Structure 1
Amino acid sequence: MEIKINSSTVIVVYKQKIKNIVHMDVDTSIQFPLASSNRIVFTGHFNGYGVEINSIEEMAMLYHMGYFGKGTKSRSRPKVIKSHGCPVIMRKRQYGKRQFWSKKFKNIHEANNADEFLHKINVLSKKIIKDHSKELKKDIIDLISSDEDCNSDSRRNGYKSCMDSDNEAADIVVIVPNSDSEGDDYFEKFEMKSCLNIIKCEEKLALTTQEAFFLLYSIGCLKIVNNGKFLEVNECWNLFLTGDCHFVEKYVVYHYYRSKGYIVKPGIKFGGDYLIYRDGPGINHADFIVVIKFEQEPQNWLWTLGLVRMAASTLKEIIIIEVCKPVEEDIILPKDLCKYTVKELVLSRNSTQIINDSEG
């Protein structure tokens, strides 16, 4: 197919196979022990849009054994910074934001405690009404008044002791002034002060829903906790499906390239759905940008040329992949995921050049 733009020809070449597909070396492949006696099981917590790993050891192992996830405070690899007794230095705006978070979540916590207290009073009052109908008013008034006095004192004392204990255990941070440019004037008027670190933002490993389900369903090395209970495979599938209407297509593509030995990472930075690496981020650049073709989204020449331009500007190749649903209508997911197939198209951009070799 050819189209002419400003007297230059853009040739879009469609190919049926990915070029130079190679499997990764042993050092960068998934190295989870799959034997039941040596199986490693990690624990993740669902946060509404993804899964978080809190343990430092589990974070390091998951990222080392396949480059799963991303550090919440790092660009890619999760890093745990140890202060070694030195205070943390932060900008004034950062400390102000943490104070806002502290007030916000403290009010939510107090509101939840108040609602729980009133709920218990309501349940207990109904029980008293049923068991002691003769002395209804006296018993209820005495009970509520005494409980309110005790709980108000306990909440007040408990909150104070909790704040005192938190203040004792909190780290000291050094607050420095805000500045976009650290010039001579900034350091001449430089003043800093020490404060208590109210909220500590710990480094976590953030897994996408596709990564989390791959570890849960395909490898069986992850347990996901939501609302205090472990999720089964079907429960996790339904939970991820409600949060993303294209979760099936995205997971099929993710599983497909992982099974080929590629490292698959989110590709939103380059305008695609995924980036696929031969050896992983930090070792080599991504070779391909994967764009999933959904049935509901229209594709035209303008869309295709946008992808070709993106490939040329990023020095990568674009893979358009389409997920084909099975013909059978009575499929059960995720059990029948193996019945899905994919089609791949590789877009390449070739610009023709006229070279004048004539003499004179």
Structure 2
Amino acid sequence: LFKNYYSNTRNQFILAFTLNLYKVLMELFRQPKKKHLSRSIKAYQPFPIPIESECDEQLAKNLWTEYTGIFSGDHVAICHQGEMANLSNKGFFGKGSLSRGHPTFNLRKNGVPPFIYGRQWERRKKWIKSHIKISQKIDNESVVQQNKDDVIVKEKNFSTNTPKLNNVDSHVKKSEDISLLIVNDQSLEDDNNDECVVIDDNNSDEEAILSNPKISIESEPIKTVQEELHTTLEEAFFLSYALGCLKIFDWSGKFLTLTNMWCLFKKTQTDFIENYIAYHYFRAKGWIVKPGHKFGGDLILYKQGPPFYHASYVVIIESVKDNNRSSENLSWDKLQGLNRVVEAAGKEVLLCQIFWPDHLDLNELDSPQVLPKFEVNEVLLRRWVPSEEREL
């Protein structure tokens, strides 16, 4: 009896310990939430470059694609439609200038149907059926009313003289009415043409120009609004420095080298170095990195991409210099508020600490060759609730 009791107690203890350990592991490694439409979306390559594991080395060199971007102050714009599609689908780089995320403005304008939920599709089918029923009912009522009117008209025709009707019809000329409609349509087209009056604006005085104006009529072509792909400075530098597939030019058309690009981005954005190190670090781990301002953080991390999974982590970047925390470190109040917001959105807070190298010369910061000297540390922040952890 003692042996059976001892063995049962030991088995129960092992089972309870295993369940608690499994619970701890599941809490530490939470699986990201999958989106509903992820099955209907095609998955592309993780990067917009050929991968040697999928093709041989010579074929990868022949298929190598170089993209072109224009530096626009706080972002880099890609204008070519094919390059936009590759960068957006393969790695989810950038954001559409006229869309919330993926550049879909031109697709919607060209009539490509969007992705909708099944509930929306069923609802729209019901609307179409009800619209058809109402239109058929209105048509039937109009036909009945028209038949009644025809009967009344026939009765009146019997009581009137036919010569009078012929005299009335003789005053109406259908050819004149048709020609009048054509003239009116032509005048409307003339009003809506693309011609405009242009006054020569030279360097003379305003009175001299107005006294003898040189007026000409020129055609003004209609310019269609085209969507661009806007990448952050971190994304643009990653494509140029890490992948080597993006060429960036300034507004004057001058090509920017990696050193020029580094200095320009560092001057434009004061925290560019820390942000890029964190961006490069998480991209190298396989995460899809996006700006996290809407959740109160610096970055947000997706598994495989925004169309497939919800964001898993909200990243807070902290710069650590000379083994001391920066002056802009987070207080407990800020951490508590941020954690509440992130928990309500079903995500977690990840603190990314960027350690600067000791005895760093300022001249070394003018080149991207200084990047390997930095160190990165991750800290996962979670709110501990005693009532939920009693079994542990």
TM-score normalized by the length of structure 1: 0.60
Per-residue deviation, 1:250: 0.3
CA contact 1:72–1:78 (8 Å) conserved in 2 = yes
The one-letter code sitting in structure 2 at the alignment partner of 1:352 is P
Relative to structure 2, which stretch is displaced further, 247-256 or 302-311? 302-311
Q: Measured at CA, do residues 227 and 305 of structure 1 come closer, stay the same or move farther in structure 2, by a change above 3 Å? A: same
**3-state SS of paired residue (1:350):** coil
1:166-185 matches, cutoff 5 A: 166=220, 169-170=221-222
The one-letter code sitting in structure 2 at the alignment partner of 1:47 is S
Q: Measured at CA, do residues 288 and 28 of structure 1 come closer, stay the same or move farther in structure 2, by a change above 3 Å? A: farther
Paired position in structure 2 for 1:30: 47
CA contact 2:48–2:86 (8 Å) conserved in 1 = no
Q: Measured at CA, do residues 308 and 202 of structure 1 come closer, stay the same or move farther in structure 2, by a change above 3 Å? A: same
1:36-75 matches, cutoff 5 A: 36-75=61-100
TM-score normalized by the length of structure 2: 0.56
**3-state SS of paired residue (2:351):** strand
Q: Measured at CA, do residues 302 and 212 of structure 1 come closer, stay the same or move farther in structure 2, by a change above 3 Å? A: same
1:351 to 379, 382, 385: 385
Q: Measured at CA, do residues 82 and 317 of structure 1 come closer, stay the same or move farther in structure 2, by a change above 3 Å? A: closer
**3-state SS of paired residue (2:369):** coil
Alpha-carbon separation, structure 1, partners of 2:244 and 2:62: 13
Paired position in structure 2 for 1:93: none
CA contact 1:28–1:279 (8 Å) conserved in 2 = no
**3-state SS of paired residue (1:353):** helix
Per-residue deviation, 1:296: 3.3
Q: Measured at CA, do residues 292 and 82 of structure 1 come closer, stay the same or move farther in structure 2, by a change above 3 Å? A: closer
Paired position in structure 2 for 1:210: 234
CA contact 1:28–1:280 (8 Å) conserved in 2 = no
Per-residue deviation, 1:328: 4.1
CA contact 1:52–1:205 (8 Å) conserved in 2 = yes
Alpha-carbon separation, structure 2, partners of 1:246 and 1:297: 12
CA contact 1:323–1:341 (8 Å) conserved in 2 = yes
CA deviation map 1:23-76 (0-9, x unaligned): xxx845225127443321111111111011111101001111100001111111
Per-residue deviation, 1:82: 6.2
Per-residue deviation, 1:223: 0.8
Per-residue deviation, 1:291: 0.7
Per-residue deviation, 1:352: 3.2
Alpha-carbon separation, structure 2, partners of 1:327 and 1:309: 36
CA contact 1:273–1:291 (8 Å) conserved in 2 = yes
Alpha-carbon separation, structure 1, partners of 2:357 and 2:341: 32
Alpha-carbon separation, structure 2, partners of 1:352 and 1:289: 24
Per-residue deviation, 1:21: 9.7
Alpha-carbon separation, structure 1, partners of 2:246 and 2:70: 10
* Match status 1:341 vs 2:375: yes
CA contact 1:257–1:264 (8 Å) conserved in 2 = yes
1:281 to 290, 301, 306: 306
Alpha-carbon separation, structure 2, partners of 1:37 and 1:296: 50
Paired position in structure 2 for 1:254: 279
CA deviation map 1:197-248 (0-9, x unaligned): xx64321111000000100111110011112311111111111111111000
Using CA pairs under 8 Å that are at least 6 residues apart, name the structure with larger relative contact order, 1 or 2.
1
Q: Which runs of 4+ in 1 moved over 4 A?
A: 18-22, 82-85
Paired position in structure 1 for 2:360: 329
Alpha-carbon separation, structure 2, partners of 1:63 and 1:261: 16
Instruction: State the identity %.
Output: 34
* Match status 1:265 vs 2:290: yes
Paired position in structure 2 for 1:81: 107
Alpha-carbon separation, structure 2, partners of 1:334 and 1:21: 35
Alpha-carbon separation, structure 2, partners of 1:244 and 1:31: 26
Per-residue deviation, 1:351: 2.5
Q: Which runs of 5+ in 2 are unaligned?
A: 1-27, 33-42, 52-59, 112-198, 320-325
Alpha-carbon separation, structure 1, partners of 2:48 and 2:311: 21
Alignment RMSD, CA only?
3.2
CA contact 1:312–1:349 (8 Å) conserved in 2 = no
Alpha-carbon separation, structure 1, partners of 2:269 and 2:388: 49
CA contact 1:266–1:274 (8 Å) conserved in 2 = yes
Alpha-carbon separation, structure 1, partners of 2:312 and 2:72: 31
Alpha-carbon separation, structure 2, partners of 1:350 and 1:342: 25
Paired position in structure 2 for 1:219: 243
Alpha-carbon separation, structure 2, partners of 1:282 and 1:210: 21
**3-state SS of paired residue (2:101):** coil
Per-residue deviation, 1:290: 0.3
Bigger fraction of residues in strand: 1
